[in-house]
Chains A and B, each alone.
Chain A
Amino acid sequence: MNVLHGKIKQIQTVNELSKIIIDLNGHTFTSLIIDIETFGDIAIGKEIKLLFKEAEVMIGTKESIVSASNAFVSTVKKINQGEILSEVVFDFEGNDIISLITTSSLQRLQIEVDKEFLWFVKANEVTLQKEIK
């Protein structure tokens, strides 16, 4: 599971659906959640954790244009290659972001350590967790 810490910047709600914009060292993350009331007390300026599974993180070449709201260019720090699946570890602002992709895709995109790639995750895949004091 990838975990990032950020601050809530903006909340937009239409009926039960809400879009939460989170600021992370100047980068902007988006998360979609439904039924925000039951999640409880969340407000602009509050600290929040972002969680997303490794398998939800996709990779593209630096120049790709994608629909995913959360797309960032980072350097590949480490690759852990398996038979079917491979883990690609990015260095994002000092945090490790792990992407789990098929080994065939790893080879197709010629992903190597120290090269820069685009990693992205759709807003609907980002889970929010309140900071536990």
Chain B
Amino acid sequence: MIEESFVQTMSLTFKLAGVTTLFLLMIGIPLGYYLAATKNRLKPVLEAIVSMPLVLPPSVLGFYMLVFFSPKNAFGQWLDETLDLRLVFSFEGLVVASIIFSLPFMVHPIQSGFSALPKDLTEAAYTLGKSKINVLFRALLPNIRPSLLTGIVISFAHTVGEFGVVLMMGGNISGETRVASIAIYDEVESLNYSAANQYALTLFLISFAILLFVYAINKHFLKAELS
């Protein structure tokens, strides 16, 4: 028997991952393209900021976001009053936190995908009279499909599995912020091992399936490109 709370928690988990990935894709493409193309001296600074979540304990990030977005502080107050948006202990807040936390997992593959493309491609398209936007969508993005796919899937999987930031920012509100990784912790705390196992096993299998899919597809892509 699958409980209602399990279904609710799992669907919330995937909703969060899906929405986060969608936003990340919209941010990751221009950001990755910019980082791959720019010769700006401040590029290392931007790269360091994007990569911070890789090395920072999630609780540190979660803590600062909690403080920053809290309605008790200026920015949080402004969001609350002007946009009626409360990011602390809400689903929206989780999305924002997840975007920041998973940013490198989307930006890195896209950036290296763009970097690996010959510079000639962009210049050739310019000399053929094509605008920058046209070049990006018609001549460049179709040629980094494996990188895009990697970015999408890894970001999605990473968001599904994140714990620290979610716990700090979202807490554990059923149907609002309780995602699978939190639920496992919660069930174990209550010594409810079989329920914890249900979540854990589901995450384990889904993560494996996703990674299997990425490697299989990328192998197919690589083969198609080499033939």
Asked whether any CB of A lies within 8 Å of a CB of B in the complex, the reply is no
Residues in A lying within 8 Å of B, measured CB to CB: none
